[in-house]
Structure 1
């Protein structure tokens, strides 16, 4: 017995989950409130019944592992799960990956009035009084971009301007969109067969998921960078400012000269940056970086990445050089 789950994410208040529940009367509706998570308190509603949970360790992973996953494993049928605004659906799908629970779809609500400012701003969740734990250093941009990027379908709260449309075309190119005033339930039928539906990739595949348009539109562009030479660790570190200013999203699988066997992962949104380790290269070091710019000059971003590569002379001496590496103690192990 296991559930078929529709995850509904979004950083704004909305009733999309309730609409989907009403359109599927045989389904269950689960909603979490994590506003008290830092104090170890989680409130959960299932079909309107409130349960207050007290966790020894107030964290998102504990909420998923100790409550949501066991709950869904015990339900047979469709479940509409309305995620707390601070939750990213990819983390939920990762927690469900080893279970029999099927992710039918991920639907994200985009507030057209605030999303683009949030996605390119520097506010942290702590600045908004929303962090999930004392050590939660995520930015609002990381959350809203992650929610939209991982979505199989998008619900828009209003009419998007051309810039927002151009960003979403490149961030989530295959996701059908529907206004919140439209037929949200029908949106599930419009999801492409090739949609993720909760599948977690390992970071070694193409980073141009869904084949986003590469030509610029309304000042929004995609920089697609590949090269067979490694990065110089200090020069890559020094170029990070370029990758954060005027940029909506960076995702990159990179090879640095000081760690030749490790595939590192760079991911940023707004002013937030995450660096991790994907593990050993599965073959050749096929590094790839994809940058979605809003106001940054794509040529400037591309030049910064190219200038961070090792030179021909450094490449010839690569086994003899001792590179200073600021990434050695910076990155964390990524569980993708």
Structure 2
């Protein structure tokens, strides 16, 4: 039977270590593997293997190309396969800025199915640091946490992916007030993910977890987005419309939208790009707009068989006789968010009745300030 594997991600080593220690104590005979990427930009990685009694082995790993993908492919997976026989649980203690998705997908692959079983993906969060981390505009390289040479990601960007992907979240540290605030924040940002303390970790040796299903919870076309919520000072507002957006007016509104919210995401469409599903992702004032493939309404019916059941279900739930699955669905979270003003601002970015009547031939000639951004993303 395949050996269960639990991933433990998180920006802060103290929180991850506490979670890993707990798993090792609860599963005698299990081992934890950690790759220290402090010097990964120079192609050097330090691997440590330990059990509940202490360190079993350390080794320096030299990589042809210093990156997380190389580390997983060239060292982590072979080590997991080597140590799987007889181990009740294998624990992967991920480096600070590693996003769990890529590692989960590498483990949950056809080649390793008979040996390894992805059983849990946890993210350990420092309750005292979480609220501030979500608002930090630092790049990983500026805080000593890059995962590869040329890593330009932002700390808050990585944190949101770490907490929105896993099967469970684990809070550690801070006082009672920190813990309560973190739980309120997570209820807005990851409302469908259970939150535990280190002392009450969930079972991690159960059925196989499908990495593809975890990815669908985050992918723009199928993402499980939060709903309208207010918890004390924290507000989440959902904006939904069928009418197309004017590219220039939306672009002008971006600064106000992202600076007055902490986290926002969703899918949208521009009048001049009716076939293109666009993904909105912003945190700590840093916004990303990317093309995420076509709307299903833009594809021939025969092509629907080539997309996942989750994608078809999401399209069915959003289907409109005139627009198909084209929709504006954006979600904003922030402290004391003025939801009425946000919705008014976004509504002003939609085409007017007169602009809508002008039709697609006119829309296609609109100036599009998003064009350079999308061209760069697709390059």
What TM-score range do you get, normalising by the shorter chain?
A: 0.7 to 0.9
Paired residue for 1:313, among 354, 358, 366?
354
Q: CA deviation at 1:105?
A: 1.4
Deviation string, structure 1 residues 189-236 (Cα, Å, up to 9, x no partner): 79999998972114322532xxx5633112111111221122222222
1:109 paired residue number:
124
Asked if residue 327 in structure 1 is aligned to residue 370 in structure 2, the reply is yes
Deviates more, 1:54-63 or 1:250-259: 54-63
Question: TM-score, normalization: structure 1?
Answer: 0.86
Q: Is the 8 A contact 1:7 1:80 kept in 2?
A: yes
Question: Which sections of structure 1, spanning at least 5 residues, go unmatched?
Answer: none
| Residues 297/90 of structure 1: CA separation in 2 closer, same or farther (3 Å cut) | farther
Deviation string, structure 1 residues 275-334 (Cα, Å, up to 9, x no partner): 222211123213321222224322232223222222222222232241222322323259
Q: Is the 8 A contact 1:120 1:246 kept in 2?
A: no
Please report the RMSD computed on the Cα atoms of aligned residues, expressed in angstroms. Answer: 3.0
| Residues 120/328 of structure 1: CA separation in 2 closer, same or farther (3 Å cut) | same
2:43 paired residue number:
40
| Residues 242/71 of structure 1: CA separation in 2 closer, same or farther (3 Å cut) | farther
| Residues 257/111 of structure 1: CA separation in 2 closer, same or farther (3 Å cut) | same
Question: Which sections of structure 2, spanning at least 5 residues, go unmatched?
Answer: 51-55, 298-323
1:302 paired residue number:
343
Paired residue for 2:61, among 44, 49, 53?
53
| Residues 324/84 of structure 1: CA separation in 2 closer, same or farther (3 Å cut) | same
| Residues 323/64 of structure 1: CA separation in 2 closer, same or farther (3 Å cut) | farther
Q: CA deviation at 1:29?
A: 1.3
* Counterparts of 1:58 and 1:192, CA distance in 2: 33
Q: CA deviation at 1:46?
A: 2.9
Q: Where does 1:246-325 land on structure 2 (aligned, <5 Å)?
A: 246-283=260-297, 284=324, 285-317=326-358, 318-321=360-363, 322-325=365-368
Asked if residue 244 in structure 1 is aligned to residue 244 in structure 2, the reply is no
2:300 paired residue number:
none
| Residues 96/303 of structure 1: CA separation in 2 closer, same or farther (3 Å cut) | farther
Question: TM-score, normalization: structure 2?
Answer: 0.77
Name which one, 1 or 2, has greater alpha-carbon Rg: 2
Asked if residue 171 in structure 1 is aligned to residue 189 in structure 2, the reply is yes
* Counterparts of 2:334 and 2:2, CA distance in 1: 41
Instruction: Report which of the two has the higher share of helix.
Output: 2
